[in-house]
Amino acid sequence: MATTICGWCGVTTHMAIVTDVIDVPRQGSSYTYVYMAAFRCSNERCARLSVGRTYRDKPYGMTKEMREDKNIQWEPAQIRRPDFPDVPPQIGATASEAHACLSIGAHRGAVALARAVVEATAKHNGITGGNIVGKIDRMHQDGLIREITREVAHEIRHGGNEVAHGDLADEPMPPEDAEAIVEFMDAILQEVFQGPARMRDLQQRRLERKQRNAE
Ligand SMILES: [Zn+2]
């Protein structure tokens, strides 16, 4: 059995192979064969089928090897779409899509959306014009983000795959760079929207308690 996060139910589950393994010769690529089989989710509430596939350059021992294969890719894939409840809805939805892109390996898409989220966050706070790094500096000047966050923005930039770069289609985009930029986006949202919302909430509850005690 293969263990994975089921793309249907989101639970970490064992996938039991339920069909024969089919090998599909693939031309014009570095891999010669694609092996595919249907698997069933062992979560009883789900029990749906997913298709597992793996790529090999030489023939494969079929069912037993497929069952033990650690590199199976799954369809449907588990797609992450986290919620950003204290973030303005359009910005939060875009941030959620950046994570969805990352979870399917669409790294340039993830980075393009993460940049758009940072730009929109600046705009939401009245900062317009100039490039994204200038906007991040302004967000720091206006007390919206901490010094360390501003420094990290500059470091990501100097690392090559900039937060600011405009020529996405021209850049190599290793997964770790895309992950770093999406993580940076999360940190900006945390500092600008989510952290302050939590503090306002705490303040509100204290106020209500004070009023109740005064009654
Ligand atoms: Zn499932």
Domain 89-208 class? mainly alpha
pLDDT of amino acid 133: 87
Q: How far is the CA of 11 from the centre of ligand 1 (A)?
A: 6
Q: How far is the CA of 50 from the centre of ligand 1 (A)?
A: 9
Q: How far is the CA of 29 from the centre of ligand 1 (A)?
A: 32
pTM: 0.69
The CA–CA distances, whole Å, from 21 to 18, 26, 75 equal 9, 15, 15
pLDDT of amino acid 63: 80
pLDDT of amino acid 160: 47
Q: What is the DSSP string of 139-180?
A: HHHTTSS-HHHHHHHHHHHHTSS-SS-S-GGGS---HHHHHH
Which regions in the chain score pLDDT beneath 70?
1, 26-31, 157-167
pLDDT of amino acid 148: 94
Q: How far is the CA of 70 from the centre of ligand 1 (A)?
A: 18
Q: How far is the CA of 95 from the centre of ligand 1 (A)?
A: 26
pLDDT of amino acid 165: 57
Maximum C-alpha span of the chain:
79
Q: How far is the CA of 80 from the centre of ligand 1 (A)?
A: 15
Q: How far is the CA of 85 from the centre of ligand 1 (A)?
A: 26
Residue ranges of the chain assigned to CATH 1.20.120 = 89-208
